[in-house]
């Protein structure tokens, strides 16, 4: 009898296989910063809620995950330092990029980010949520998902879990799920519903769960802003069918 291994378990086994010692469990906390920055008559209200690993120094894997999450959260490339130091660098970038032009009338922008970390078995998942209003017709929001191995700090990508052919099958399954949910018979009907069918594919923005896998699509990625953020979930059984 063939034994089916769930996607979640497969990733966990990969993580365990990379290190024989039991991974250090993270001690989670929150770095919270609320401030108002201003320049040239413009102001921006900033709220940060960064899910930090307080014992990151306890293992190279946790340190790698913490530094990677800091870079993602504060949008800083090649940064090395504490969340507080990253926050100050981020605030300086916001002031330099968005608060330079002198407006006819003063205006207050808003920029809010929070993150949440969850741990299941040997995998750590970090979800980052952003919301901002930095001018224009409306605010923008989005979600970023990152899954790591607690054994070595490695961040999983689709290529670690699926072959190129299987990724094409994933795209077809996501397309079929959207057609079913929005009662669309074909791409033309999806387009009428506000989707961009040619951009529907498996995204790197995913979460692994014991039940399967969830893909997150932010506004404008596969559809118009009015559709909002879109989630498509596939069960382990459905993913198993794609591997045949």
Summarised one tens digit per residue, pLDDT across range 83-135 is 999 999 999 988 888 777 655 555 678 999 999 999 999 999 999 999 998 77
Burial bucket for residue 7 (CB in 10 Å: 0-12, 13-18, 19+): buried
The domain spans of the chain are: 7-149, 158-242
Structure-token pair, residue 168: 């094409």
**Measured CA distances, 75 to 78, 126, 130, 141 (Å):** 10, 15, 11, 15
Homologous superfamily (CATH) of 7-149 is Fervidobacterium nodosum Rt17-B1 like (3.30.565.40)
200-220 pLDDT, tens digit each: 999 999 999 889 999 999 999
Instruction: Supply the pTM of this predicted model.
Output: 0.88
CATH of domain 158-242: 3.90.640.20
pLDDT tier at 244, thresholds 50, 70, 90: low
Percent with pLDDT over 70 in the chain: 89
């Amino acid at each position: 009898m063939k034994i089916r291994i769930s996607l979640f378990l497969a990733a966990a086994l990969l993580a365990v296989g990379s290190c024989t010692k039991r991974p250090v469990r993270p001690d989670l906390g929150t770095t919270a910063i609320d401030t108002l920055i201003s320049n040239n008559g413009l102001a921006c209200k900033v709220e940060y809620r960064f899910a930090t690993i307080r014992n990151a120094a306890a293992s190279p894997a946790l340190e790698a995950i913490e530094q990677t999450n800091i870079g993602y959260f504060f949008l800083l490339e090649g940064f090395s330092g504490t969340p507080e130091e990253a926050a100050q660098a981020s605030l300086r970038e916001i002031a330099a990029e968005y608060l330079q032009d002198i407006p006819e009338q003063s205006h207050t922008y808003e920029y809010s980010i929070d993150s949440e970390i969850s741990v299941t078995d040997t995998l750590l998942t970090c979800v980052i949520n952003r919301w901002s209003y930095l001018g224009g017709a409306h605010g923008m929001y989005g979600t970023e998902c990152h899954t790591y191995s607690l054994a070595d700090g490695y961040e999983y990508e689709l290529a670690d879990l699926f072959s190129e052919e299987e990724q094409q099958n994933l795209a077809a399954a996501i397309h079929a799920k959207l057609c079913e949910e929005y009662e669309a018979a074909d791409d033309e009907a999806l387009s009428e519903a506000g989707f961009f069918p040619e951009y529907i594919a498996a995204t790197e923005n995913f979460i692994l769960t014991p039940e399967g896998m969830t893909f997150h699509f932010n506004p404008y990625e596969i559809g118009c802003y009015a559709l909002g953020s879109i989630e498509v979930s596939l069960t382990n059984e459905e993913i198993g069918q794609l591997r045949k």
